[in-house]
A = this chain, B = another copy of it.
Amino acid sequence: METDFTAQIIKQVITAWAANSKVISNFFSKYEDAYYLNEVAPGRNRAIYLLGHLIASNDSMLPMFDLGEPLYPELVTTFLRTPDKTEPDTLTIAELKQRWETLNTTLAAHFDKMQTQDWMSRHTRVSEEDFALEPTRNKLNVLIGRTNHQQYHYGQLTLLTQKVAVA
C-alpha cells in the first residue's frame, strides 16, 4: 500500500499560505505609513487599498470554512465591491495592518485545528449537489486559490515607488 501523504501535503499548502502572508506583513513594515498611500503604478490601486482588499478577501475564508462570521464585514463594501479612490479612507494603514495581523493569527489558529476531512469537505459557497459532482471544490482548494491571489497582489505591491513631487 502507498504511504498516505495527505496530512503532509495539507501542511505544505498551509505553510505556503503562511509564508506568503508573512512576506506581505514584512512589506507593510518596511516603510513609513505615508508611503503606502501611493499607487503601485500610475492610475492603479494604492498599496493601502490592496492591503484592505487582501484582508476582506481572506476574511471570507471564515464563513466559507464554516468557522464563524468574518472578523471585519465592514471592509467588504470598501475593498471588494468598490474601486480604490472612490471614497475617503475610513481606516489608516496602521489600523489595517493591525487587522491583517489579527486575521492571520485567527486563521492560523483555525487551520492548525482543522483535520483532513475538514479540508477535503465542501466550502459553504458550493452546494452539496455541486460538490458531489466536483469534489475538488473543497476548503483546501480555497486556500490554494487565496494564496495565489495574495501572490498576484504582492507582485503588484513590489512595484510601488514613491511619487516624485512635480515642481
Residues of B within 8 A of A159 (CB): 40-41, 44, 156, 159
Which single member of B2, B15, B20, B140 contacts A9 (CB below 8 Å)?
A: B140
> Is B2 a contact of A136 with CB atoms below 8 Å?
no
Q: A141: CB under 8 A from chain B?
A: yes
Main secondary structure on A side of the interface with B: helix
Q: A71: CB under 8 A from chain B?
A: no
Which of chain A's residues 125-167 have a Cβ closer than 8 Å to chain B? 135-136, 140-141, 144-145, 147-149, 151-156, 158-159, 161
A145–B148 Cα distance when bound, in Å, is: 10
A15–B136 Cα distance when bound, in Å, is: 10
Complex: chain B residue closest to A13, CB-CB: B144
A117 to chain B, nearest CB (A): 7
Q: A98: CB under 8 A from chain B?
A: no
Query: Could you list which residues of chain A lie within 8 angstroms of chain B, going by C-beta atoms?
Result: 2-6, 8-13, 15-16, 20, 40-44, 116-117, 120, 135-136, 140-141, 144-145, 147-149, 151-156, 158-159, 161
Residues of B within 8 A of A40 (CB): 41, 159
Which single member of B2, B42, B43, B140 contacts A6 (CB below 8 Å)?
A: B2
Residues of B within 8 A of A136 (CB): 8, 11-12, 15
A5–B156 Cα distance when bound, in Å, is: 34
Complex: chain B residue closest to A5, CB-CB: B6
A144–B151 Cα distance when bound, in Å, is: 12
Given contacts A2-B117, A5-B6, A153-B155, 13 further A-B contacts (CB under 8 A): A2-B6, A2-B116, A6-B9, A8-B135, A9-B13, A9-B140, A13-B144, A16-B141, A16-B145, A41-B41, A151-B155, A152-B152, A155-B155
